[in-house]
Structure 1
């Protein structure tokens, strides 16, 4: 694999989580961001822990297949490690992430990785969908939508979530996060996120879910979503929820 010249948020997160699937350009970008904001590893460890708790909750509800959008590097507590009995299809629009993921997951019978755009789920390879998401549209599925909402405008996000709601069977569940206005106090760090990045106030999150119904846990800082023990003490940079397409 040729070494990329542009950093990737997914590979920067891999670095912050202690992984090994990143490049010097990603490490340099991660250090630059920390100089503008502060330590990031605890924040992303908290977000990854939320991922694990949310997909285990979904699996406990009887869901045994997961479709992951914006998957990045599929390790360090990612979905197939949190729910090893499930089948998982990871997707991303970044060809480097897809290549890394396919290499890492070679030999896994229950886990695949392919190109996939959350705003166009119909574009996912039908063969991959049939293999890893059996009964798509007829059996409940778990959707993982983390790290994406901040890069979609309100209209696109609402349409995307509504399209996914229409595509999946009743009983399906959605794990999602939203970026708060945490970076407003760090203008240099905010500028590094690029013009597509959107912070949102917590009171706006519920409306963006459309027909998806959050569980009784609500939409809360990720460290306080069903914590196992005392919640981590980290900035409330991300709020998260699991939302349901009700049966019947």
Structure 2
């Protein structure tokens, strides 16, 4: 996309949140409009790029851990543009369903992942749990545990769309023994900057709604949290040798919860 040649059906007139995230991760699947918006965000909170990498690394650690626990079905909603270390690349012998409603993501995912063993790409929207799960059931066995991955996404769901109720509905639809992998930007210590970042995303494809830690905790009601509970993404079961010290910009909370029954 760096040549700015726009595929049919794709708009380069409005910043796209998936392409902005790709830019934070150092990817090349973005347009000038995305890079300009992302740079405005980085001008407010320079740590965002590192935070995006931390979030991606957390996702990889979480799915590896769940695979070790015997989970072999993964449903990644809002999967984003394919990047190195995508879910199916860090686990073996599992089924992975990637779900997104962004035409950019779907086009690239189908082109790059369409023939990968055990991988399915489906169109779907986080805000339609019943439809997402019905389609996922075409591939996954919903009589057995599933890992539901909602990473770097739910802060793009507005309060009016009731994200807590959405998580509750997914919990009710998941079979016993399933897990939820969830992250959320919760800048309790920098509300002014969060408001400035939100203003940038108001002109993008999805608004950005940062929320306090207490709100994030409420999303996990009904799940039994795996250790170490709710922490920043860098702090969840870090790999050996990882610097565990807190750093400026640690504000992306994460947790992995189990649905026991």
Structure 1 residue aligned with 2:19:
11
Structure 2 residue aligned with 1:55:
63
Q: For the residues of structure 2 that align with 1:16 and 1:84, how far apart are their CA atoms?
A: 27
Q: Find 1:219's aligned residue among 230, 254, 261.
A: 230
Deviates more, 1:188-197 or 1:101-110: 188-197
Q: Which ranges of 4 or more aligned residues in structure 1 deviate by more than 6 Å?
A: none
Q: For the residues of structure 1 that align with 2:156 and 2:30, how far apart are their CA atoms?
A: 22
Q: Tell me the alpha carbon deviations over residues 167-192 of structure 1, each in whole angstroms, 9 at most, x when there is no partner.
A: 11111001001211265232432311
Q: In 1, are the aligned partners of 2:222 and 2:259 still within 8 Å (CA)? A: yes
Q: Tell me the alpha carbon deviations over residues 11-48 of structure 1, each in whole angstroms, 9 at most, x when there is no partner.
A: 11112212222222222221222123224321111111
Gaps of 5+ in 1: none
Distance 1:84 1:15, change over 3 A: farther
Distance 1:237 1:154, change over 3 A: farther
Q: Tell me the alpha carbon deviations over residues 140-189 of structure 1, each in whole angstroms, 9 at most, x when there is no partner.
A: 00000112221332872221111111111111001001211265232432
Gaps of 5+ in 2: 1-6
Q: In 2, are the aligned partners of 1:68 and 1:143 still within 8 Å (CA)? A: yes
Q: In 2, are the aligned partners of 1:177 and 1:241 still within 8 Å (CA)? A: yes
How many residue pairs get aligned? The number is 244
Deviation at 1:222, TM superposition (A): 0.8
Deviation at 1:126, TM superposition (A): 5.1
Q: Tell me the alpha carbon deviations over residues 56-110 of structure 1, each in whole angstroms, 9 at most, x when there is no partner.
A: 1111111111111111112222211222432111111212211111111121131
Q: In 2, are the aligned partners of 1:184 and 1:190 still within 8 Å (CA)? A: no
Residue correspondence of structure 1 range 33-52 to structure 2 within 5 A? 33-52=41-60
Q: In 2, are the aligned partners of 1:147 and 1:178 still within 8 Å (CA)? A: yes
Q: In 2, are the aligned partners of 1:183 and 1:190 still within 8 Å (CA)? A: no
Q: For the residues of structure 1 that align with 2:210 and 2:228, how far apart are their CA atoms?
A: 22
Deviates more, 1:149-158 or 1:104-113: 149-158
Q: In 2, are the aligned partners of 1:87 and 1:111 still within 8 Å (CA)? A: yes
Q: For the residues of structure 2 that align with 1:59 and 1:240, how far apart are their CA atoms?
A: 18
Structure 1 residue aligned with 2:99:
91
Q: In 2, are the aligned partners of 1:64 and 1:87 still within 8 Å (CA)? A: yes
Distance 1:125 1:63, change over 3 A: closer
Structure 1 residue aligned with 2:208:
197
Structure 2 residue aligned with 1:246:
260
Q: In 1, are the aligned partners of 2:76 and 2:99 still within 8 Å (CA)? A: yes
Q: Find 2:220's aligned residue among 202, 205, 209.
A: 209
Q: In 2, are the aligned partners of 1:183 and 1:189 still within 8 Å (CA)? A: no
Deviation at 1:226, TM superposition (A): 0.8
Q: Find 1:164's aligned residue among 146, 159, 170.
A: 170
Structure 2 residue aligned with 1:108:
116
Q: Does 1:118 align with 2:129?
A: no
Structure 2 residue aligned with 1:230:
243
